[in-house]
A and B are shown apart, each in its own frame.
Chain A
Amino acid sequence: MGRYILRRAAQGLFVLWAAFTIAFFVLYLLPSDPAALAAGAGGEVADVDPALLDDLRARYGLDRPVLVQYVDALGGAVRLDFGPSYQSGAPAASLVAAAVPQTLLLTGVALALAVVGGVVLAVASVLPRSRALRQVLSALPPLGVALPTFFIGLVLLQWLSFRAGLLPAIGNVGWQSLVLPAVTLAIPPGAQLAQVLSRSLRGTLGEPYVETARAKGAGRLRVQLGHALRNAAIPAFTMLGVMVGALLGGAVVTETVFSRVGLGRLTVQSVNAQDVPVVLAVVVLSALVFVVTTLVVDLLYPLLDPRIERASTPRTVAA
């Protein structure tokens, strides 16, 4: 077990390193001149006073060879130092750190909504006796998947805030301000989860062991919830890592729509200003979140599926 965790942690570190490296070279080596970016000229060298550029290059260490810069940046990243933001001059890492709590709150609530809603919808679209009800409910997940996040947000704002005046439209104050953004953010991944789970649930209901359960005289609920759902949940569970990533990505749009302070807003502002250090820090942070989530999912997996053995017991050989 310990060896397994070590190996997975090493893999995770590799992914982090690779994400950092790719992002570094994409951001620093592509056509625009980072110094010009830092000067706020959109990468066009011609418009800027050359002396200022030189000054900036020296300040951000851009006058050194690329490899030296890379090694330096990597060393900094290990110490969670991504350099000063081009925009404000404050350390990029602390800008990101300051934005994390609000986004964590938003995505956490959205994740809970998505999981609960997705599971309930999946179960409700497969299990009822009424064929008409099943059909109506199973049309919902595909619809939810097709909705652009910003569209959900705008429509909710329009009808629930502006028309009905039920909930505040913007800001970070109070739980009321969290409701609409969290719902907006939760709908697409929740619908995706419902789609995967209901498909897997339908497949599971056709498995021979479900027939065995029925042959024992088990009732509907026992067959569907006791036998089918637990097996169907296994493939859906692996989606969790992807879902957390989707929520993080969705936060970019959601926070913009609802004018909330957070990581997503910070990202948009930094992209607008081509603030390379902050963007780099955000990319690495999102990779870190993904790595940790998938590691947790993998460690929990054997609890859900006894066929996966992680311990060092000898594996059975299917000869």
Chain B
Amino acid sequence: MTQLQEDAAARTAGDATPPTPVLEVTGLEVGYRTRDGEVYRAVRGVDLAVQPGEVVALVGESGSGKSTTAHAALHLLARGGRVTGGRIRLAGRDVSDLTDREWQDVRGREVGLVPQDPTVSLNPVQRVGDQVAEVLVIHGLARRREARRRAVGLLGQAGIPDPAARARQYPHQLSGGMRQRVLIAVAIAADPRLVVADEPTSALDVTVQRRILDHLEHLVRERGTALLLITHDLGVAADRADRIVVLEHGVVVEQGTAAEVLGTPRHPYTRQLIAAAPSLASGRLVAPAPPTAPTASAVAAPRASAATPAAPAAVPPAAPVLELVDVRKAFPLPRGGDRREVVAVDGVSLRVERGRTYALVGESGSGKSTTARLALHLERPTSGSVRFRGEDVTGVRGEALRRLRRGFQVVYQSPYASLDPRFTVEQVVAEPLQAYGIGTRAERAERVRALLHDVALPADALRRSPRELSGGQRQRVAIARALALRPDLVVLDEPVSALDVSVQAQILELLVRLQAEHDLTYLFISHDLAVVRQVADEVGVLHRGRLVEHGPADRILLDPQQAYTRELVAAIPGRRYAAPAAHPSAAPPATAVPHPTEEVR
């Protein structure tokens, strides 16, 4: 612990005269007016205090009201939102009844905000230096020229290399991580007593996330600024916060020091969150004992593959379901640039064995999704070959490809985009059956019902529109569709990354159960090593289109050999309070791995 942290801890421990909190929220109520004229109570009686120099994490899943609470503290609620009760005090001053004009002097000067998505939170037509300088100008801390000069210094403090040059650039010329650093510079520019960071890194890659959070934490500790960190990620909260506040449905269910909340959670919801949070410590999920209920396999439908016990001889046991041999994929670039093409996948070879899960891990731009698309024949490799069930199928097209597709199906990342909004759930799941003319109408309906049962959706979901379902339920529909043809291979492209952590856990359990029940083979694409840990047998790590390391999951995740893999593993949040026994000491701090181009484009 730093000196400041100890100070803060000592102060919160309750001396005779407790210091005035920088932020004190009592009985906060926020309502959103819905279109039907009703009021949705997003925040209900929240009490919360942030002491000077303290880092407090506000943790909750979507819709828990965590963002709303933070925005209420800055009087920046979205349209239709209104504080309907409670008081907000900033450094002892009651700001609940300030006018809009008075709030302008508070925002930026006394409370800084680091917003959620750096890619859209900077004005695209203004130089970043000017956007930082603007804070100083608004609050009369500097004149324009002086403010510009100081903005360069602030950008440097926020960890931007060559800040003088960067200050003259526009947001689109910076990477996501760099843009978030600019926003941090904006937040600290006027030296506020409190910085509110609203999911500051959830849009960024994990290694970038780690560097940004390290830097943010370092900055606030150094300046003695208090930080209210909003996050859905318990791991992030565990690593960074002095105290943790857990929100559920707009109500604070638990708060205390990080050690208390994570070590001895009292509320069942907190326990559930901790249990659902994936980490390397959890190990691979194991399917429960086979259920007694009838499953989809009970319904007669011809199996596409030759893997049924009746015909085991058709495939030699050694042949992997999918094999990529030195595949390379280059996309041509529009003319005018100095590069002709961009290489998304550069000589990747991998084998996915029957009944196993091969996880392909990488950050954005690593080529993992392109590899998945090559496996699915949605892209053609520039060179190399794709072998399916032991057969070279690289150049297959037309009707032959369509017949081949029966053997491999896909589940996409976003369950919102992958289901036709005009279809009912039944139509979605029946579509592959219809495409191959399998069964009569009645048989198909029967099979769809069995599939929905398999993925644990209620039967009354059949006639619903996907729009009426939650994200987790939609993803179950997508899984049912992928299983309808009893494929040999299911490609799961980031299947849980759009979901909340508790929903994520349920979907992962479902996938593991289905794999056991139906002897499925998965190619699992993910950026999240902790998720991969729960499902993978084999892991391949992709970095800039190349497979830098691959092997059994245990070895890769617990004893990585390559520098890049180590950095990835080290960046997984949630290490501070995890059981030390489960963690190898293999992972050095990320700073040990110099990363030449960092986030600069």
Contact = CB atoms under 8 A, between A and B. Distances in A.
A307 B127 CA distance: 11
Given A208-B117, A306-B170, A319 B365 contact: yes
Interface string A294-319: 00000000001111000010111101
A281 B457 CA distance: 68
A314 B337 contact: yes
B104 A219 contact: yes
Interface in A170-208: 206-208
Interface in A208-252: 208-209, 211-220, 222, 227, 230-231, 234
Tell me the dominant secondary structure on chain B's binding face: loop
A217 B105 contact: yes
A317 B109 contact: no
A263 B99 CA distance: 58
Contact of B120 (A207, A214, A304, A315): A207
B104 A218 contact: yes
A319 B542 CA distance: 14
B581 to A, nearest CB: 39
Contact of B113 (A212, A315, A317): A212
Contacts of B342: 317, 319
A230 B125 CA distance: 8
A213 B122 CA distance: 9
A229 B342 CA distance: 36
B238 interface: no
B138 interface: yes
B410 interface: no
B121 A314 contact: no
B107 A212 contact: no
Contact of B107 (A214, A305, A307, A319): A214
A216 B135 contact: yes
Interface in B162-217: 170, 172-173, 183, 186-187, 190
A209 B173 contact: no
A312 B336 contact: yes
Interface string B292-334: 0000000000000000000000000000000000000000011
Nearest to B339: A314
Contacts of A206: 79
B76 A215 contact: yes
B548 interface: no
Contacts of B399: none
A305 B334 CA distance: 20
A217 B125 contact: no
Contacts of B101: 219
A42 B133 CA distance: 71
Nearest to B101: A219
B116 interface: yes
B333 A317 contact: yes
A219 B344 CA distance: 45
Given A218-B138, A316-B601, A317-B333, A306 B124 contact: yes
B115 A217 contact: no
Given A215-B74, A217-B104, A219-B104, A231 B138 contact: no
B454 interface: no
Contact of A231 (B107, B123, B190): B123
Task: Report, as a range, how many residues of chain A touch the other chain.
Answer: 20 to 34
A216 B138 contact: yes
B49 interface: no
B190 to A, nearest CB: 8
B138 A316 contact: no
A215 B112 contact: yes
A214 B110 CA distance: 13
B108 to A, nearest CB: 3
A211 B170 CA distance: 18
Contact of B183 (A212, A220, A234): A212
Interface string B81-109: 00000000000000000001101111111
A317 B334 CA distance: 10
Nearest to B175: A316
Contacts of A211: 76, 115, 121
B494 interface: no
B426 interface: no
A209 B338 CA distance: 32
B313 to A, nearest CB: 45
Interface in A4-25: none
B171 to A, nearest CB: 8
B120 A215 contact: no
A230 to B, nearest CB: 6
Contact of A213 (B109, B123, B333): B123
A312 B334 CA distance: 12
B518 interface: no
A221 to B, nearest CB: 11
A51 B420 CA distance: 69
B115 A208 contact: yes
A-B CB proximity, top 8 nearest: A217-B108, A319-B365, A215-B113, A216-B108, A217-B107, A306-B170, A208-B121, A208-B120
Given A215-B112, A227-B123, A306-B125, 18 more contacts: A207-B120, A212-B113, A212-B115, A212-B183, A215-B108, A215-B187, A216-B108, A216-B135, A217-B105, A217-B108, A217-B139, A217-B190, A218-B104, A222-B138, A305-B124, A307-B172, A314-B338, A319-B342
Interface of B: 74, 76, 79, 100-101, 103-109, 112-113, 115-117, 120-126, 131, 134-135, 138-139, 170, 172-173, 183, 186-187, 190, 333-334, 336-339, 342, 344, 364-365, 601
29 contacts: A206-B79, A209-B120, A209-B123, A209-B124, A211-B76, A211-B115, A212-B115, A212-B123, A212-B131, A214-B76, A215-B74, A215-B76, A215-B187, A216-B108, A217-B105, A217-B106, A217-B108, A217-B109, A219-B101, A219-B104, A227-B123, A230-B125, A231-B123, A234-B125, A305-B124, A305-B125, A307-B170, A312-B336, A319-B342
